[in-house]
Amino acid sequence: MRLLLLGVVLVVASFFVGQSIFAGALAAVRPLGFLMVAAGGVLLWLGRRASPASHPATVLAAAGAVAAAPPPMPLAPASRPTAWSAVVFETIEWRRFEAVVEALFRQAGFHTRSQAHGADGGVDVWLHSKSVPDQPVSVVQCKHWQGKRVGVDKIRELRGVMAAHGVKRGQFATTSTFTPDAVTFARENSINLLDVDALLALIDERTPEQQQALLEVALEGDYWRPTCVNCGSKLVERVAKGGGSRFWGCAGFPKCRTTMPMKAG
């Protein structure tokens, strides 16, 4: 920039000195002034081209048209749990939770049959006794919720499924807790409620070998990465357009458009 300005000064001065005593000297340096202007202009152009601020993506980002990528966010837990605690239930995704509940009842001597959500009213696991394998003796509903208590409406839905299939007992397992109305309704309708504390108490009754087997079920694969509720694929990390936050999206997009909010950290 300085070279360009100095060249401009020399050229302009050589034209305006007229017949002064400096006219001859300035006329002699006029070619040098033109050369300095040309060189300064080239250097200025090269500098702007190399500058990050002049890059089209950077300019658009500064104008709000393109969002800069958010900083990397840790997704996997910093360490893998080594023993049963409430942290395990907080860390695993919903499908791992259902698998743990099913394995827990299987250890209790039941034949289990898991079923996808939707057609059966949301029942996750059917329990069969060894003596009567064709007729379920109980049904288990699982809800992997955090920070939201299970209300009486969910317990009523389970009771409706029990009545439709002639099942007298039900189980409702959750990583959360239950509202008082839900507790009262469950007690009056032969539904056993299993929150985190109750599940941990059941696990504590198992042998050390059984507890370890349940832990391996919970921590199988990417136990922290959610499973798509519609197609069964593992969800992948995505970033909202326009610089939004990260979220979980199905790997089968656009065929499957399942999304889930991503828990920070």
Average pLDDT over residues 56-83: 50
Average pLDDT value over all residues in the chain: 78
Residue-wise pLDDT for 79-125, tens only, equals 899 999 999 999 999 999 999 999 999 999 999 998 765 444 456 89
Question: What was the pLDDT predicted at 240?
Answer: 79
Sheet holding 111-114, edge to edge: 111-114, 125-128, 136-143, 169-174, 191-194
151 DSSP assignment: P
Q: Is the pLDDT of residue 54 over 70?
A: no
Percent of the chain having pLDDT more than 90? 45
pLDDT in tens, 178-199: 999 999 999 999 999 999 999 9
Match 């936050």 to its residue by tokens: 245
CATH of domain 86-224: 3.40.1350.10
Which residues, at least 6 apart from 32, have a Cβ–Cβ distance to it below 8 Å?
A: 7, 10
Q: What is the mean pLDDT of residues 31-60?
A: 49
Question: Which phi and psi (to 5°) does residue 96 adopt?
Answer: -65, -35
176, pLDDT greater than 70: yes
Q: How many residues does the chain have?
A: 265
β-bridge pairing 191-194 and 169-174: parallel
Domain borders along the chain are 2-50, 66-75+225-265, 86-224
Q: What is the pTM of this model?
A: 0.66
* Weakest-pLDDT range from 2-11, 130-139, 204-213: 2-11
How would you label 122-131 residue by residue, b for 16+ Cβ within 10 Å and e otherwise?
A: bbbbbbbeee
